[in-house]
Structure 1
Amino acid sequence: MVRYTQATSDGHLEQILELQQRNLPKNISAEELKNEGFLTVEHSFSILKEMNEECGHIIALDHEKVVAYALCMHPKFSESITVLKPMFHEINLAISGRQNYMVMGQICVDKNYRGKGVFRKLYETMQAKLPEGMDTIITEVDAKNQRSLNAHLAIGFTELKRYQGDDGKDWVLIVL
């Protein structure tokens, strides 16, 4: 039985990184990339831990094995990951100075657990565990990652804006 909670140990963080590695474009086929979705950011253990100390990442555990995660990224980390700096810039333009949001930094569900409601439950848990004073979750999806975009829209996210990043990719900024 899958249970949902916040990451509380280095072991949880290490398992998040293992699941992340299995879903990066460099480690999956072109067919998987198109049909299953993909991750964009490769985190270091140290930044993952720092982020977790500010707001615990949401994890799905099956017999203590991390089978899915949604990373919580407080706005104070806006300068910590180079590839995400443009996203924070666009968020600030779109919501003009509001600070009552948490960024969902990355979401991933193990292949064996997809299509079973895990994605939705991760976000429900994240909403329930937002720090006091925060009432909004914002994230972005690579416009080419149609599976992820459709999944987010299906659970209630709405589009804030589309933009082209410094990397030349098209991004969709969405809010829940």
Structure 2
Amino acid sequence: MITYKQASTLEELEQILALQQLNLIKNISAEERKNEGFLTVEHDMDILKAMNDVCGHIIAVEDDKVVGFALCMHPKFADEIEVLRPMFEEINKVVENQNGYMAMGQICVAKSHRGRGVFRNLYLTMKEKLPAGFDTIITEVDGKNTRSLAAHAAIGFKTIKIYPSGEKEWHLIVLQ
């Protein structure tokens, strides 16, 4: 049985990083990127733990193994990850309540658990566990990551802006 909760141990954070490595764009084939989606940002333990200390990351666990995660990224980390700085700049341009949102820094489901509702349940749990005063989840998806865009749309995310950054086209999306 899969359970959903906030990460609370170093071992869980290590498992998040291991699952992340398996799904990074640099570590998978072009065909896999197209069919399965991909992760763009590679975190290190220091930033992952610092983010978790402010708002626990949401994890899906089966048999003591992390099989999915949604990273909670408080806006105070806006300058910590270079590739995400433009996202926060765009959020500042289009979001009225600058204190009422949590950025979802990255979501991933193990290949063995895809198509089983894990993606949806990670977001439901994240929404439930948001700190007091937070009622919105904002994230961005690479326009080439069509699987991720479709999955986010299916659970109610709406596009609030599409913008270029570097050589990518990003879709800034919101769930309220």
User: How many positions carry a matched residue from both structures?
Assistant: 175
Which has the larger displacement, 23-32 or 121-130?
A: 23-32
Q: Distance in 1 between matches of 2:127 and 2:96?
A: 22
What is the distance in 2 between the residues matched to 1:52 and 1:99? 18
Shift of 1:25: 1.4
Matched residue type, 2:63: H
**Identity over aligned pairs, percent:** 64
Indicate the SS of the match to 2:23.
Answer: coil
Distance 2:28 2:167 in 1: 22
Unaligned runs of 5+ in 1: none
CA distance in 2, matches of 1:4, 1:168: 35
Gaps of at least 5 residues in structure 2 are none
Residue 24 of structure 2 corresponds to residue 24 of structure 1: yes
Query: How far does residue 26 in structure 1 lie from its aligned partner after superposition?
Result: 1.6
Q: What is the aligned partner in structure 2 of residue 9 from structure 1?
A: 9
Runs of 4+ in 1 over 2 A off after TM superposition: none
Give me the whole-angstrom Cα distance separating, in 1, the residues matched to 2:133 and 2:95: 16
Q: Deviations over 1:57-80 (max 9, x none)?
A: 000000110000000000000000
- Alignment-derived partner of residue 168 in structure 2: 169
Q: Does 1:120 align with 2:151?
A: no
Distance in 2 (CA, whole Å) between partners of 1:71 and 1:105 is: 5
Residue number in structure 1 paired with 2:154: 154
Instruction: Give the AA of the match of 1:164.
Output: P
TM-score by length of 1: 0.98
Which residue does 2:105 correspond to in 1?
Answer: 105
| Deviation for aligned residue 1:168 | 2.0
Does 2:91 align with 1:87?
no
**TM-score for the superposition, normalised by structure 2:** 0.98
